[in-house]
Amino acid sequence: MTEILSPAGDIERLKWAFRYGADAVYFGGYNYSLRANATNYSIEEIKEAAEYAHSLGKRVYVTVNILMHNEDLEGLDEYLETLSNIGIDAYIVSDASVIKRIKELKLKPEIHISTQESSVNRETVKFWKSLGATRVVLGRECSKEDIKDIKENVDIELEMFIHGAMCTSYSGRCVLSNYVTYRDSNRGGCSQVCRFTFDMDEYGDYQICSKDLSMIDYIKELVEIGIDSLKIEGRMRSLYYIATVVNAYKTIVTKINDNTLTQSDIEYYKKVINRVSNRENTPQFYNKEPGVNEQYYSGREEVTNQDFLGIVLGYEEGVMTIEQRNYFKVGDEVQVFGPNSIKNFKVESIKTEDNIEVEDAKHPQEILKIKVPFEVQKNDILRVPIY
Nearer to another protein, 24 or 133 (CB): 133
Please give the DSSP secondary-structure letter assigned to residue 317. T
In the complex, what is the shortest distance from the CB of residue 348 to another protein, in angstroms, rounded to a whole number? 48
Options 18-26, 114-122, 224-232, 244-252: segment touching another protein (CB under 8 A): 114-122
In the shown chain, the binding pattern of residues 63 to 102 toward another protein, with x for contact by CB under 8 A and - for none, equals ---xxxxx-xx--------------------xxxx-xxx-
**Phi/psi class of residue 379: alpha, beta or left (left: φ > 0; alpha: ψ in -120 to 50)?**
left
253 Cβ contact list (under 8 Å, min separation 6): 1, 2, 4, 219, 223, 230
183 binds another protein (CB under 8 A): yes
- How many other C-beta atoms can be found within 10 angstroms of the C-beta atom of residue 44? 9
In the shown chain, the binding pattern of residues 6 to 45 toward another protein, with x for contact by CB under 8 A and - for none, equals ----------------------x-xxxx--x---x-----
Nearer to another protein, 169 or 377 (CB): 169
Please give the DSSP secondary-structure letter assigned to residue 211. P
268 binds another protein (CB under 8 A): no
* Count of residues in contact with another protein, rule CB under 8 A: 80
Rounded to 5°, the CA angle 382-379-33 comes to 105
Please give the DSSP secondary-structure letter assigned to residue 142. -
Q: Which of 45, 184, 221, 332 binds another protein (CB under 8 A)?
A: 184
1 binds another protein (CB under 8 A): no
Q: Which of 44, 57, 106, 200 binds another protein (CB under 8 A)?
A: 200
Reference 25, options 184, 235, 266, 296; nearest CA is 235
356 binds another protein (CB under 8 A): no
135 binds another protein (CB under 8 A): no
Options 53-61, 80-88, 189-197, 263-271: segment touching another protein (CB under 8 A): 189-197
Options 11-19, 184-192, 219-227, 323-331: segment touching another protein (CB under 8 A): 184-192
Options 54-62, 126-134, 156-164, 308-316: segment touching another protein (CB under 8 A): 126-134
Nearer to another protein, 69 or 363 (CB): 69
Rounded CA gap, 299 and 195, in Å? 8
Amino acid at site 370: I
Phi, psi of 7 (to 5 degrees): -70, 155
- How many other C-beta atoms can be found within 10 angstroms of the C-beta atom of residue 348? 11
283 binds another protein (CB under 8 A): no
What are the residue ranges of helices labelled H in 42-161? 43-55, 76-86, 96-104, 122-130, 144-153
280 binds another protein (CB under 8 A): no
Q: 94-114 burial by CB neighbour count: b if 16+ within 10 A, else e?
A: bbeebbebbeeeebebbbbbb
